[in-house]
Structure 1
Amino acid sequence: MVILTQACPIQRPFGSHLYKRRRDFQLLDKRSWSLKPLIPRVSEDQDTDYQLRAVAKLLADEMTANGQVIGIGTGVAVNEYLREISERLGDGRLSGVRCIPSSDVSASEAAFLGVPLTTIEDVNGNVDLMVDVADELDLENLAYIVGRGDNGPQANQPSLPRVRQLLEKARVRVVVVDIAKTGRRLGGSVPVLIEANEDIWEDIAEELDDIFIGDAEIRRRSVNPDAGPRGGNSPVITTDGNMVLDVQFLEGLKLFGKDEIYDRIVAEIETVDGVLEHGLVVGVARKAVVGTVVVSAIGEDGQEEVKEESGPRVVHL
């Protein structure tokens, strides 16, 4: 058990200008599930369409089987994977596959392609595979960020509660990410989902501001990209009916000025009353495979298998 105390005067966009906090802090246990990176490498002799097709083919060849229930994230790589599934269902190479989307746009894409949909409730929580798409991936710790809103229109963003539920239920989990969005320390912003209540959102923002003071700025996400920290008069409301606060880190993800382990940052976010979900996903795998198109997967039995194509290399972390 660690006791944290900090006090300092500072100008802030929310609440008073002086804060003092003392909090009992307990490190979260490691997640019981593991994370598998799927990394297409951008190069001069391979265009994006080729890479996406190769990723989709690899997923379908090595990860997908008849009768599976598959959770799907949101993004162009997932759309290509859905097209591959649709083709194989059509020509008989696959049968009985059903998908659970993490966003309305993924649901629409699957329906358009004729891929059968289901729900977690209908399959009693039995999900064979989850294919997610990361905004950024930490290769060393196999942690990633999802739901930033910087990969297209807000309508294309995943439902964070649905993503988290699918990750927790799935027996095998794969994350797709561009090699250019990988590194040794996550940076940028972490989305935090809160209730869409004008009477309480500032209190939640102030508490997050207290936690990450000097390390990050808190902004209410707005449909207007030029809006200030408070989000103006047009805050984003998600398909689940919630608001989004973006914790925008000034450098890499830090806590009290230090590069703390991600579990501690997760713990601090989750202690704030009113926080419903967030986009910082932390896994426990300790190996990545980096190459043109690669997969490192840990299955239900806990045994690691490396699926590869086009000259990957294994990185021991």
Structure 2
Amino acid sequence: MPATPPLAPTTQELEKQQAAAAAVRWVRDGMVLGLGTGTTSAQFITQLGARVQAGLKVQGTATSLASEALARQVGIPLLEPRRGLRFDLAVDGADELDDQLRLIKGGGGALLREKTIETAADYLLVIADSSKVVPVLGRFPLPLEVVPFALPWVLDAVAALGGAPALRMDKANPAAPVYSDQRNFLVDCHFGQIPDAESLAVRLKTIPGIVEHGLFIGLAKAAVVIQGGVAQVLKPGQAARPASEFTDLP
């Protein structure tokens, strides 16, 4: 039988590749990078690996075991966490972002490591396909990383905030919960809309047992989003500009 031809990439997959390519163009020799998690970040890591194979000198730390494995596979030198380690640039995707570059992240379960590394970065660049831009955060369920012992009380507290929390279960085994790389539970909160993300972030931080929440506020310096087939740079409160206008980080 003749081999089945590979499926053509979807528009969303092409947009992820395009956003990653714009970000890779701004990586410079000698940079220390934070490597994000998720399908768009995987595109960035893969394309970065090709540049490393061509002679680019960079080092990085990955935000998840999956991204670490991919980075090793494509030849990106990795650094272990240590005191004083800072990142010139972190590149990561988002599950949602608004016009102030407030983000919901953690759909891939790596929110704790992502926030740790991206807080230690001088510049966080978000890369995203066109579906990720929203007028108000909250349609995508807000992830939490939760200590297993504290789960019942966390669920009660988040429900009282209107979050309709649900323990994330394994799609392959619906009777088993999903664990983070730190062996904590992941809880998805269905707020519908989050009109005051800053206030909610503060309230979630006060609930014992929540290790981290997926609201990333005040961290992203810029985002590359594909709009109308063109890579556009978004910055908080500014009009979009074509990524091609920027030789260096916007």
TM-score w.r.t. structure 2 length?
0.81
d(CA) in 1 for partners of 2:151 and 2:71? 35
Q: Equivalent residues in 2 for 1:181-192 (5 A)?
A: 181-188=132-139, 189-192=141-144
Task: Name the structure 2 match of 1:9.
Answer: none
**SS of 2:203 mapped into structure 1:** helix
Picking from 145, 148, 170, the partner of 1:223 is 170
- Distance across 2 between alignment mates of 1:158 and 1:98: 24
**For 2:44, what is the secondary structure of its paired residue?**
helix
**Structure-1-length-normalised TM-score:** 0.65
Q: In the TM superposition, what is the alpha-carbon distance from 1:52 to its structure 2 partner?
A: 3.6
Deviations 1:240-274 (A, max 9, x none): 1101121112x312xxxxx3x21101011111111
- Structure with the larger strand share: 1
The verdict on how the C-alpha distance between 1:293 and 1:275 changes in structure 2, with shifts beyond 3 A counting, is same
Please give the alpha-carbon distance, in whole angstroms, between the structure 1 residues aligned to 2:219 and 2:75: 35
Alpha-carbon distance in 1 for matches of 2:173, 2:73: 34
Partner of 1:20: none
| In structure 2, C-alpha distance between the alignment counterparts of 1:174 and 1:288, rounded to whole Å | 5
Q: CA deviation at 1:286?
A: 9.5
The structure carrying a bigger helix percent of its residues is 2
Say if 1:307 and 1:99 are closer, same or farther in 2 by CA, change over 3 A. Answer: farther
Which of residues 176, 181, 195 is equivalent to 1:234? 176
Find out whether 1:108 has 2:49 as its counterpart. Answer: no
For the residue of structure 2 that corresponds to 1:125, the secondary structure is coil
Does the CA contact (< 8 Å) of 2:118 and 2:124 recur in 1?
A: yes
Residue 88 of structure 1 pairs with residue 61 of structure 2: no
Summarize deviations over 1:269-295 as a string: whole Å, max 9, x none.
111111110111112779877641123
Q: Which residue of 1 aligns with 2:88?
A: 128
Q: RMSD across aligned C-alpha pairs, in angstroms? A: 2.8
Q: Which protein has the larger Cα radius of gyration, Structure 1 or Structure 2?
A: 1
**Structure-2 residue corresponding to 1:117:** 78
Q: Which of 283, 286, 292 in structure 1 is aligned with 2:218?
A: 283
Structure 2 partner of 1:144: 103
How many equivalent residue pairs? Answer: 229
Gaps of 5+ in 2: 1-9, 246-250
- Identity among equivalent pairs (%): 25
Match of 1:75 in 2: 38
Q: What is the rounded CA distance, in whole Å, between the counterparts of 2:136 and 2:110 in structure 1?
A: 24
Q: What SS does the aligned partner of 1:175 have? A: strand
How far off its partner does 1:81 sit?
1.8
